């Protein structure tokens, strides 16, 4: 099923099952599980006067395809401006994806600072589209249009620990929601992958995204631009930082991840 199917399902029920087309190795694509929890939170709490400001995601265990999932949430605190909400995706009673989302109501302020729009070096048409090869690429890649603009490719043994490019869904959702943006951000391979000289598993452990508000409206079929760099990597872990941009160059989000790297270097 396409992404929109699961987003709509998470709006109307707290029990669902993800099919094997959204696989990522032995588990369900983490961007989808986080997006479903966020969708459930936003729909069920109904804080229409608040913007999503940050979301912290912990991937506590592999969500397995075909196993029933349960979505739940709890309001941790609600002040005049800031609301903190916890959410989980569970399978067989065990938490697989844990989320804490922070929403903020806008206030009058004399502080205004916005970064200058980014001038993109390459257009989506100039990027290299990641092909979907069944049985080789992760299953969820079938639903995405990701186009690399960075030069170092995964497993090339490069000293350049950068991944950048354009991204959107092959079948655009009706509305480009926060949840859809979240799912797309997680679609890219970790920026540490170009440093590896042969295939090795990697896995997101924790993930923090800050959403920039206010933002210009997005058309459902817009490309977003992604640029991610490795800040530090050692002893099987990598810390990455990414920026996500509107097609007009406006900064949309900041993303940080702790990534586990399970390579076995040669002696």
- Where helices occur in 134-185 by DSSP H, the ranges are 178-185
Q: Tell me how crowded residue 126 is: count the other CB atoms within 10 A of its CB.
A: 11
266 belongs to a structural domain:
no
Peptide bond into 214 cis (omega under 30): yes
Consecutive 10-residue runs of the chain (267 residues): their mean pLDDT? 95 95 90 97 88 97 96 96 97 98 91 92 95 85 95 90 96 93 96 93 95 94 97 96 98 98 81
What's the domain range around 33?
Answer: 3-106+119-261
109 touches 93 (CB < 8 A): no
80 belongs to a structural domain:
yes
111 belongs to a structural domain:
no
7 belongs to a structural domain:
yes
123 belongs to a structural domain:
yes
Question: What CATH code is carried by the domain that includes residue 10?
Answer: 2.40.160.210
190 touches 259 (CB < 8 A): yes
267 belongs to a structural domain:
no
Residue with tokens 């397995």: 64
Q: Tens digit of pLDDT for each residue in 39-84?
A: 999 999 988 789 999 999 999 999 999 999 999 999 999 999 999 9
Q: What is the pTM of this model?
A: 0.94
Q: Tens digit of pLDDT for each residue in 235-253?
A: 999 999 999 999 999 999 9
218 belongs to a structural domain:
yes
143 belongs to a structural domain:
yes
Q: How many domains are there within the chain?
A: 1
């Amino acid at each position: 099923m396409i992404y929109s199917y699961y987003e709509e399902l998470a709006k109307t029920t707290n029990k669902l099952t993800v099919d094997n087309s959204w696989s990522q190795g032995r588990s369900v694509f983490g961007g989808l599980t986080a997006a479903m929890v966020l969708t459930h939170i936003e729909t069920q709490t109904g804080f229409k006067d608040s913007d999503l400001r940050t979301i912290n995601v912990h991937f506590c265990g592999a969500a397995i395809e075909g196993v029933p999932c349960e979505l739940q949430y709890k309001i941790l605190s609600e002040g005049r401006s800031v609301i903190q909400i916890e959410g989980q995706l569970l399978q067989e009673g065990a938490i697989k994806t844990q989320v804490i989302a922070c929403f903020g109501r806008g206030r009058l302020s004399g502080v205004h600072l916005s970064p200058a729009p980014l001038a993109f070096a390459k257009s989506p048409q100039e990027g290299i589209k990641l092909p979907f090869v069944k049985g080789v690429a992760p299953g969820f890649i079938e639903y995405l249009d990701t186009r690399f603009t960075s030069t170092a490719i995964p497993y090339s043994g490069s000293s350049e620990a950068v991944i950048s490019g354009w991204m959107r869904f092959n079948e655009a959702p009706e509305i480009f929601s926060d949840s859809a943006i979240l799912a797309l951000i997680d679609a890219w391979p970790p920026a540490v992958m170009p440093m590896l000289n042969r295939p090795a598993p990697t896995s997101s452990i924790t993930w923090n995204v800050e959403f920039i508000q206010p933002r210009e409206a997005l058309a459902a079929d817009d490309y977003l631009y992604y640029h991610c760099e490795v800040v530090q990597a050692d002893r099987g872990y990598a810390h990455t930082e990414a920026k996500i941009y509107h097609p007009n160059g406006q900064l949309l989000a900041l993303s940080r991840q702790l990534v586990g790297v399970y390579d076995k270097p040669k002696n």
